[in-house]
Chains A and B, each alone.
Chain A
Amino acid sequence: MGKKVLLIEDEPNIIEAISFILSRDGWEVKTHANGHDAMEAVRRRAPDLIILDVMLPGKSGYDILGEIREDADFAETPVLMLTARGQTRDREMAERAGANRYMTKPFSNADVLAAVRALVEA
């Protein structure tokens, strides 16, 4: 059984695509589709890596990342942020909030896979 990835994303098609790519590479993929209770999903799943969308219904990805970093159990968990808003300001906000990696949609599948691997192995 591979390492556990929690994907927090609200767009069903994107969830399906990322799940497909990571599963095929041997990752155990858990998904969560809204912002409200994302932190609870993190605690429940205790993932090795979190892939986090910025625009989520209920709570923004930045706020969720803040909560993750405040929680001692997950302060060191690598987080890959995905955003559809490709502005420099968003990248800065993500880095300030403590994201380990930041990727702009649309992405290449290979890049996502490489990033996930690199973040977990590091």
Chain B
Amino acid sequence: MYEKNGEKYFVVDSHMHYWDASPENWVEGAEQYAKGWIECFHAYQGLGPAETHQPIEEFQRVSEDQLMREVFEEGYVDKAIFQSTYLREWYKNGFNTTERNGSLFEKHPDKFIVNTRFDPRDGDKGMREFEENTKRFGAIGAKLYTAEWNGDSRGFKLTDPEAYRFLERAQELGIKNIHVHKGPTIWPLDKDAFDVSDVDHAATDFQGLNFIVEHVGLPRIEDFCFMATQEPNVYAGLSVVIGGLMHARPKFFAKVMGELLFWVGEDKMTFGSDYNIWTPRWQIEGLVDWDYPSDEFSDYPRLGTEGKKKILGLNAAKLYGIEVPEECRLPAPGEGAQLVDEREVAQA
């Protein structure tokens, strides 16, 4: 929890990682990709405040102690949601697997939620792994990385028939939230990696799932925004938006926030630190203090304390059914983010 000026903010970090990108984990023959990937992430860290920058060796693999300190002790986070990114083509044991994240969850079950993942190109074997992990960690969320390399393939779409098979199974297994990576870092060869039309279709066809578009489709936020206004079960995941812009480019951050508040609205935006790219502390402090820097932005919707509370934790708490302490709740229950079951009931 974060407290400022007598206001108490319940914080859900809905997009973070526990990765191993150390050279010992690089796949032989693919070292340049493994190295390129983590260096790319490291350059993103450079967009945060200087005092938070880490040497590359430390950045490649933080210890459990460091993660627990930076996220929960120094970082105000009440509940953190692990998102998986496998990248087995480049990292022997995977970059940030459900199992690796799950190892921390099992030690600190009150602190974490583990999201699983699937890759429709992995076929039946992948389906079994997805089912096992979903059950093992009680997952109600999954992360999809559509630009991931897999054998000869350089990406997939949610609308691929195999992907639909997995989404159907996900619903049966009790998954509620699909986090889709639409943003940097890796690009398929000739497709537009940020094309969100596949999310648009899937969100229409799978009303029992929420789709949280991580990184809001950056750099194509406008396509994301136009789509999100049409789909009640599409949310804006703010990972990279806050970390990559708020400190480094405050004016552009204000514009992006203005656009998101205008098209998507504060009820459907969720905070994610993208740890260990950035630590949560400065992002949370900065967002709570944030306002538009000048009159130039006067035609964008304002973001008040209530909206900040929703973005920092209350929206994600609803999506994941997380109990929020009385002192951190809003005075009156608003509309906004809901577990899909509740929305369906409300609509019925």
Is B a genuine binding partner of A?
no
Residues of A bordering B, CB below 8 Å: none
